[in-house]
Chains A and B, each alone.
Chain A
Amino acid sequence: MRRLLAALLLSLAAWPALAQLSIEITGAGAQRIPIAIAPFAGEAALRPGVSSIVRADLERSGLFRALELPPLVPQPSEASSVNYAEWKSRLADALVLGSVAVRADGRFEVRFRLYDVVKQSPIGGVAYTVSREQLRSTAHRIADYVYEKLTGEKGVFSTRIAYVVKRGARFELQVADADGANEQAMLVSNEPILSPAWAPNGKRIAYVSFQNKKPIVYVQDIEVAKQNVVANFKGSNSAPAWAPDGSRLAVVLSRDGNSQLYLINPDGSNLRRLTNSAGIDTEPNFSPDGQWIYFTSDRGGSPQIYRMPASGGEAQRVTFEGSYNVSPRISPDGRSLAFIMRNGGKFQAALLDLNTRQVQVLTDSELDESPSFAPNGRQILLATVIGGRGVLSAVSSDGRVKQRLTLSAGDVREPAWGPLAH
């Protein structure tokens, strides 16, 4: 019983804030790389250990299967010589060994090496000198390193996500690590908050708040709790989207009647009208090269996705199937478009290949909203409703791996995946 309690306390310690997001994986890739991540020498006193965070990150990606390991005596580190045959017999394709040591100045030295067990050769390794507070982010960087070396793509374990929590009548704009840890409230309000959008440098967030009884667009530094008004015109102000160079935002204003697209600088200057249609134009999203703005419009009689040059000009229709296609988000490589389609009575996340025009429905849920690409394009974070409760869901862009991120109390919605750390 005491052991059970101790285990429970340990697991609580691993998730310091009880209110934070917890993550449940509900699918897995067809081929996962079997990887052995040995406990790092010297990390036993740390809760959680560096290796356990690396392991959780890689497993969550759906591309890795972390092997269960027996107690290893003596405990190996990156300085040990590697018995490849032994790791091969454990069916590992890759191996991570490492160590954590306290330095005289109280800081920590974290070292690791990654090995290719099949080729029987070391791949590489890194040594970090960090404070205690940086141990978790160091673990994410190790996971990013392993992920990139073994898959050829950037890892996103060091990124952050933003989302809105509704707790009773209270709305909170939260920023957290991609694994749900280190949740930090940017804004708490009794009025709705929506559409958080990360500046390309990851240092600022634009969002819409109703705190003055109507939708107004604000920009806020992540580190400073000061709001700056970007757009507060007559009528509604909403749907901020950053240009890839961060120099301006596309916003939706109704100051001249219907909701239309405008460009505005982050300080609220240099307002220019972009669309001039008789209908609704909203949900702008810049292509990664900054050349195009994708948006939702009902100019053809039903909400569909269109695109237009970011400098202004003629719009072209992008979606044709179905009577309700909204919330366009272009993938980081510019090749596909995530959006929400009405499918029967269900609102589901889908992916359109912009070359082949093929549409793939990504989920089997009913009320999907707000898709947001991971910066490596591998996953799409979205809001959905399960059991009457707002939850976040992450689905791999091939639709195979699904994760659910839930909060113990409250509705979670409006996710936005931040950029790669600079």
Chain B
Amino acid sequence: MRIVWAVLAASILAACAGTQTDSQPPAAVEDRGAKPAAGAPGVQTAPIGSVDLTGRPAAATGAAALKDPNNILSKRSVFYEFDKYDVKDEYQPMVDAHAKYLRANAGTRMLIQGNTDERGSREYNIALGQRRAESVKRMLLLLGGREDQIEAVSLGEEKPRATGTGEEAWAQNRRSDMLYPGEY
């Protein structure tokens, strides 16, 4: 399962973080809180992941699409400037695709985790991370996601994906992640 995440994360980073891919070892993905599905701890699976959405339709908008690196749904992260929370235009297609997925899978839920870099106040960063997560949530609601499907929370600066100091690490940590059940 962890290997799946590493592949997935590499593709997310390649898509969203541009040149930062090389600097980010796959192991750091553990920081996202990804964990093995219950009942299969440590089991190596083929590089087609699965999320436990028992009973949900698995068509083009099905669970498999979430992990297909060629599908835009495999991309989950929105990145920000320092002390900013506006979602840049380049992320519109990705957010759009997830709104469609939420509409097509009315029973599924999404947790949006907002993150910040390490600078400044931890509590202000909780609020800033919240605002980042809320900005993604608001877009998803406008695009047809339901309020009871989506929770926006903040991790502030507490769970950095990149642990170094300096703009390269900070840029990766100013981020919102859209996560589905089993992924947090």
Main secondary structure of the interface of B (DSSP, over half): mixed
The interface size bin for chain B is: 20 to 34
* CA–CA, A332 and B170, complex, Å: 36
Residue of B nearest to A280 (CB): B127
Please state if A327 and B126 are interface contacts (CB–CB under 8 Å).
no
Interface flag for A296 (CB, 8 Å)? yes
* CA–CA, A340 and B123, complex, Å: 12
Please state if A302 and B158 are interface contacts (CB–CB under 8 Å).
no
Those of B114-140 within 8 Å (CB) of chain A? 118-124, 126-131, 134
Residue of A nearest to B119 (CB): A347
Interface flag for A258 (CB, 8 Å)? yes
Main secondary structure of the interface of A (DSSP, over half): strand
Those of A172-196 within 8 Å (CB) of chain B? 192, 194-195
Residue of B nearest to A166 (CB): B158
Which of B130, B153, B165, B184 has a CB less than 8 Å from the CB of A258?
B130
Please state if B83 and A210 are interface contacts (CB–CB under 8 Å).
no
Please state if A236 and B154 are interface contacts (CB–CB under 8 Å).
yes
Those of A325-358 within 8 Å (CB) of chain B? 326-327, 340, 342, 347
Known interface pairs A234-B151, A235-B130; A370-B124 also in contact (CB < 8 Å): no
Interface flag for B144 (CB, 8 Å)? no
Chain B residues with Cβ below 8 Å from A282 are: 123-124, 126-127
Which of B83, B124, B131 has a CB less than 8 Å from the CB of A283?
B124
Chain A residues with Cβ below 8 Å from B184 are: 213
Chain B residues with Cβ below 8 Å from A258 are: 127, 130-131, 134
Chain B residues with Cβ below 8 Å from A302 are: 83
* CA–CA, A252 and B154, complex, Å: 12
Residue of A nearest to B151 (CB): A234
* CA–CA, A168 and B61, complex, Å: 39
Please state if A414 and B120 are interface contacts (CB–CB under 8 Å).
no
Please state if A252 and B153 are interface contacts (CB–CB under 8 Å).
no
Please state if A252 and B151 are interface contacts (CB–CB under 8 Å).
no
Residue of A nearest to B135 (CB): A258
Please state if A257 and B134 are interface contacts (CB–CB under 8 Å).
yes
Interface flag for A259 (CB, 8 Å)? yes
Please state if B154 and A215 are interface contacts (CB–CB under 8 Å).
yes
Known interface pairs A238-B126, A303-B83, A324-B83; A210-B158 also in contact (CB < 8 Å): yes
Chain A residues with Cβ below 8 Å from B134 are: 254, 257-258
Chain A contact residues, CB within 8 Å of chain B: 192, 194-195, 208, 210, 213-215, 234-236, 238-239, 252, 254, 257-259, 280-283, 296, 302-303, 324, 326-327, 340, 342, 347, 367, 369-370, 388, 413-414
Contacts beyond the supplied A214-B155, A215-B154, A254-B153: 10 A-B pairs with Cβ under 8 Å = A192-B158, A192-B159, A213-B184, A236-B126, A238-B127, A252-B127, A254-B154, A258-B131, A282-B126, A413-B122
Chain B contact residues, CB within 8 Å of chain A: 33, 83, 118-124, 126-131, 134, 151-156, 158-159, 165, 184
- Provide 29 A-B residue pairs closer than 8 Å at the C-beta atoms, listed in order of the A residue: A194-B122, A194-B123, A210-B155, A210-B158, A213-B153, A215-B153, A215-B154, A235-B152, A235-B154, A236-B154, A238-B127, A239-B126, A252-B126, A254-B134, A258-B130, A259-B131, A280-B124, A282-B126, A283-B121, A296-B123, A296-B127, A302-B83, A303-B121, A303-B124, A327-B124, A347-B119, A367-B118, A369-B122, A370-B121
